[in-house]
Structure 1
Amino acid sequence: MARQASEIPGLGCPKDGGKPMHRKAGKTASRESSLKYIRSPQYRGQSARAASRRPAHRRKQAPPPPSIFPNVPKPIQRMVELYSQALPFDEPLFKEALRSPDALDESDLARWKEEPPFIEDNDTTDPFSTTYLAFTKSLGVVLHGIRLREQNTRDIELREAVATKGQDVVVAQLQQEVTGLWGSWERADALLRARKYHPYHHSREYMMLEHYLQWLARTIFHLTYLRFL
């Protein structure tokens, strides 16, 4: 007849209601001896030395994207961050500028699209007024829409060039273009670091310089990794 769990030593009490049965004294002494050793400084020292010999855990990182232009540096981290910044897609002015070049008056925006230093602004509004600052913000929103519209148009042209000339030919041409863009980046970034435009006293020029660098970074990243395909 099978024994019940209550009758097996160490698992319960006998039917007479006595105290739980224990393992044999030899096993108990051995267990207490092991616990005593684990708590000892000697064991802790051995454990620490063993841990120091184990290789440190490192998170596996995804391999970097392949280099499209072998003679051109990859976009630096700051460019990647600027490329990742969200555009003002919900702004009505952005949508209008993105929709068509005829939707808004873009006649006075050319100065802000050229490489800085910028042509002197002829706006006579008080540069510290809310009107001036609001117009500067709207100017940036419109330029975002224009630049994205122009990028979309260029993407179509590049895809057509790849289809007719082949990707190798287009990549060779883009390598020269991206090399020139890197030069523009270094010059514009030097102006920012030298505080050519003060963020308070030249708020519009300062914002346009940051805007220029953002789109320069976006263009370099976009072309380097052939995001138009």
Structure 2
Amino acid sequence: MGRRSKFLSLDQKVSAKRESDLRYIHSPRGKTVRAAYRQSSQRRKQRKNNTLLDIPSPTERMLTLYAKPFPTHSRLFADALRSPDALDESDLARWKREPPFEEDDDDTDPHSLGYLRFTQSLCEVLHGVRLREQNQRDAELRSESTKNGRGAVELQLHAEVRAMFSTWDRVEKLLGEGFYHPYHQSREHAMLEHYFEWLGRSICHLYYAEFLDD
């Protein structure tokens, strides 16, 4: 069983995505999210020393991705978030690395319903895994901040955020160029979008570093 593409061309898909992002940005929720993070940014910058003030601020697109809800309805997401032993995570490494990805060795018909469902499940599992790993690292950084001082941790985060901005530019270019076809390479395309989303989430998460206040 195949699935008919919703958009006739990649340009139409990209245009629709931009329109969707713009609608969100100007929606009440989008405005609230942006205002909250601007206020948080000001508070954070007041505490940073002068060597940290040159960190690029997250873009509107990053903030939009950061505010997206997680698939909390998914059992796979919940299991992956709960424990690394709950699911088989042995084949996730290829999708967690910066794209382009290794060639997918799944010989299932890429247009079949089963293939598309597995791709969706893969996204849900990866959301859980990434959030679990993020929470674990947050705890480690809080401990390090208590032990060595907040300034040392912020210097480390400063370097990481700068590197992530470079990665963001590379991955955004892949998306803009249509590196993976959304229909004929649906899994790779979905994983590229997932990676891009989490890159935006991570930049915002480390930039604001609210977890250090917990």
Q: TM-score, normalised by structure 1?
A: 0.71
From 162, 177, 198, give the equivalent of 2:145: 162
Q: Which residue of 2 aligns with 1:207?
A: 190
Secondary structure, aligned partner of 2:145: helix
Q: Tell me how far apart the structure 2 counterparts of residues 202 and 71 of structure 1 sit (CA, whole Å).
A: 39
Asked whether 1:172 is paired with 2:172, we answer no
Write out aligned runs for 1:103-122 (5 A).
103-122=86-105
CA deviation profile, 1:135-172 (whole Å, cap 9, x unmatched): 00000000000000000000100100110010111111
Asked whether 1:128 is paired with 2:128, we answer no
- Identity across the alignment (%): 54
Residue type of the alignment partner of 1:82 = L
CA shift at 1:227, angstroms?
2.1
Please, which runs of 5 or more residues in structure 1 have no aligned partner?
Answer: 1-60
Runs of 4+ in structure 1 deviating by more than 4 angstroms, as ranges, are 61-64
Q: Which residue of 2 aligns with 1:12?
A: none
From 129, 132, 137, give the equivalent of 1:146: 129
RMSD across aligned C-alpha pairs, in angstroms? 1.4
Q: Tell me how far apart the structure 2 counterparts of residues 71 and 211 of structure 1 sit (CA, whole Å).
A: 28
Residue type of the alignment partner of 2:198 = W
Q: Tell me how far apart the structure 2 counterparts of residues 85 and 143 of structure 1 sit (CA, whole Å).
A: 15
CA shift at 1:72, angstroms?
1.7
Higher helix share: 2
Residue type of the alignment partner of 2:116 = L
Larger RCO of the pair (alpha carbons < 8 Å, separation 6+):
2
Please, which runs of 5 or more residues in structure 2 have no aligned partner?
Answer: 1-33
CA shift at 1:117, angstroms?
0.3
Q: Which has the larger radius of gyration?
A: 1
Q: Tell me how far apart the structure 1 counterparts of residues 171 and 59 of structure 2 sit (CA, whole Å).
A: 15
Secondary structure, aligned partner of 1:228: helix
Q: Which residue of 1 aligns with 2:207?
A: 224
Write out aligned runs for 1:60-71 (5 A).
64=39, 65-66=41-42, 67=45, 69-71=52-54
